[in-house]
């Protein structure tokens, strides 16, 4: 139903190309996340799909239909905005009912649909309130409610959680995930937060400067990053990317090793170094180790509480099965 195909889609603003020609297929029912640093074109790409911007070239097919020239109102997509974009002069009820009114549905039908959505989103008690009186999380849910009543072909989310505090963000993340499982509708979700991308997505599209760097499942991206950029972007804390003679020894320009794939010991190991700052999270401890072999400090994860201290001499050993090698042009060496 909600299969979205981008065919050589590109976009320029005033002659400046922000998105070079790009092909992408989002399968029906899939939860796809566009992720990348700010300015990578992910929001623009979403707005192109929504029809809020014109493509400069290429075609967009939604549900098998060429929608390139279709007005946003006609694409049967629903969008949740970063600022929620609720109508401040309407009650929650009327906010949710608005798309149904625009579709000229009957009053009874509107009512039952609004009630059903409110039920799902725990908004039943707030239906008569204005959005201004709601908390951030509630506003977010109203925005989602407004999107689901339309029964769209696909949902578009534009950084919907970035205005929420950390705790609420985790909660809403789960709620949206839950919603996707239940509705099984295509969702396209834009975020700059790779944790959100990793936890929610079926498939992640990593963007940089308008280019697709890699498309794949979270685990694919994690275990087989195509290039240095994806390697450094996905995973938290990020992968150690190391250059120098040690890398050359392994036949690469850059070697990458995740903090969890290094073991630390005060006795013996491959690379020696001095412990800098350490972060104790209880379940894990992160050490920042300044090694003699590399100019950059290396982050290492140790399980649980490890009693090593600032300034102590330690040894690091990489797990060779999880060593990533990258060539001169930053691409993965198979």
Partner 1 sequence: MARSNSMQLKMLTTVAAWSIGLMIFFPILWTILTSFKTEAQAIASPPLFLNFDWTLENYQVVQERSNYMRFLWNSVFIAGGSTLLGVLIAVPAAWSMAFVPSKRTKDILLWMLSTKMLPAVGVLYPLYLIFIELGVLDTRLGLIVVLMLINLPIIVWMLYTYFKEIPGEILEAARMDGATLKSEIFYVLMPMAVPGIASTILLNVILAWNEAFWTLNLTAAKAAPLTAFIASYSSPEGLFYAKLSAASTMAIAPILILGWFSQKQLVRGLTFGAVK
Partner 2 sequence: MSTNASRSAARVMMAPAVILLLGWMLVPLTMTFWFSFRKFLPMRGGDLGFAGFDNYVRFLTSSSFWPAVQTTLIIVISVLVITVVLGILLAMLLDQPMWGQGIVRILVIAPFFVMPTVSALLWKNMFMDPVNGLFAHLFKAFGAEPVIWLTDAALPSIIMIVSWQWLPFATLILLTARQSLDSEQMEAAEMDGAPLLKRFWFIVLPHLGRAITVVILIQTIFILSTFAEIFVTTSGAFDTRTLTYLIFQRITDSQNIGLGSAGGVYAIILANIVALFLMRIVGKNLDA
Q: Which is nearer to partner 1, 80 or 228 (CB)?
A: 80
Scan residues 59-78 and list those touching partner 1 (CB under 8 A).
71-74, 77-78
Q: How far is it between the farthest Cα atoms of the chain?
A: 76
CA–CA dist 144, 182 (Å, integer): 14
Of these partners, partner 1, partner 2, none, which one is at the site of residue 195 (CB under 5 to 8 Å by kind)? Answer: none
- Note whether 52 binds partner 2 by CB under 8 A: yes
Q: Which is nearer to partner 2, 51 or 256 (CB)?
A: 51
Distance separating alpha carbons of residues 270 and 261, to the nearest angstrom: 13
The neighbouring-strand residues paired with 256 are 241, 324
User: Which residue from 65, 89, 109, 309 is in contact with partner 1, where contact means CB under 8 A?
Assistant: 89
CB under 5 to 8 A by kind: which of partner 1, partner 2, none does 54 bind? partner 2
Q: Please choose which of partner 2, partner 1, none residue 250 contacts, taking the beta carbon within 5 to 8 angstroms, the exact cut-off set by kind.
A: none
Question: 63-97 as b/e, with b when 16 or more CB fall inside 10 Å?
Answer: beeebbeeeeeebbbbbbebebebeeeebbbbbbb
Q: Is 51 in the site for partner 2 (CB under 8 A)?
A: yes
Q: Could you tell which of partner 2, partner 1, none binds residue 49, using a CB distance below 5 to 8 A set by kind?
A: none
In angstroms, give the least distance from the CB of 41 to partner 2: 14
| The length of the chain, given as a count of residues | 334
Tell me the pairing of strands 77-80 and 154-158: parallel
**Dihedral sign from CA coordinates of 95, 97, 102, 107:** negative
Nearer to partner 1, 79 or 264 (CB): 79
Of 97 and 228, which has the nearer Cβ to partner 1? 97
Calpha distance 57→225 (Å, rounded): 29
320 Cβ contact partners less than 8 Å away, ≥ 6 residues apart: none
53 binds, among partner 2, partner 1, none (CB under 5 to 8 A by kind): partner 2
Binding site for partner 2 (CB under 8 A): 51-54, 71
Binding site for partner 1 (CB under 8 A): 50, 52, 71-74, 77-79, 81-83, 85-90, 98-99, 102-103, 146, 150, 156
């Amino acid at each position: 139903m909600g299969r979205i195909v981008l065919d050589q889609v590109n976009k320029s603003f005033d002659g400046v190309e922000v998105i070079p020609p790009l092909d992408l297929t989002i399968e029906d029912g899939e939860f796809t996340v566009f992720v990348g640093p700010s300015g990578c074109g992910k929001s623009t790409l979403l707005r192109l799909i929504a029809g809020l911007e014109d493509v400069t070239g290429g075609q967009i097919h939604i549900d098998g239909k060429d929608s390139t020239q279709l007005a946003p109102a006609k694409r049967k997509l629903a969008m949740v905005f970063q600022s929620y974009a609720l109508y401040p002069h309407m009650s929650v009820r009327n906010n949710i009912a608005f798309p149904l009114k625009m579709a000229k549905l009957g009053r009874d039908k509107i009512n039952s649909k609004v009630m059903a959505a409110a039920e799902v989103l725990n908004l039943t008690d707030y239906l008569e309130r204005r959005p201004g009186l709601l908390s951030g999380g509630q506003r977010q849910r109203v925005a989602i409610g407004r999107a689901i009543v339309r029964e769209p072909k696909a949902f578009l989310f534009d950084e919907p959680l970035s205005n929420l505090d950390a705790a609420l963000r985790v909660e809403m993340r789960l709620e949206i995930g839950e919603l996707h499982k239940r509705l099984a509708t295509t969702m396209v979700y834009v975020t700059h937060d790779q944790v959100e991308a990793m936890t929610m997505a079926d498939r992640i599209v990593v963007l940089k400067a308008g280019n697709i760097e890699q498309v794949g499942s979270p685990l694919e991206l994690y275990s087989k990053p195509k290039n240095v950029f994806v390697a450094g972007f996905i995973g938290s804390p990020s992968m150690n990317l190391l250059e120098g003679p040690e890398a050359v020894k392994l036949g690469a320009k850059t070697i990458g090793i995740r903090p969890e794939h290094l073991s630390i010991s005060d006795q013996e190991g491959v690379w020696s170094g001095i412990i800098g700052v350490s972060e104790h999270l209880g379940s894990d401890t992160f050490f920042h180790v300044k090694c003699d072999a590399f100019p950059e400090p290396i982050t290492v994860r140790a399980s649980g509480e490890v009693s090593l201290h600032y300034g102590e001499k330690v040894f690091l050993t990489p797990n060779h099965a999880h060593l990533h090698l990258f060539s001169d042009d930053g691409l993965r060496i198979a």
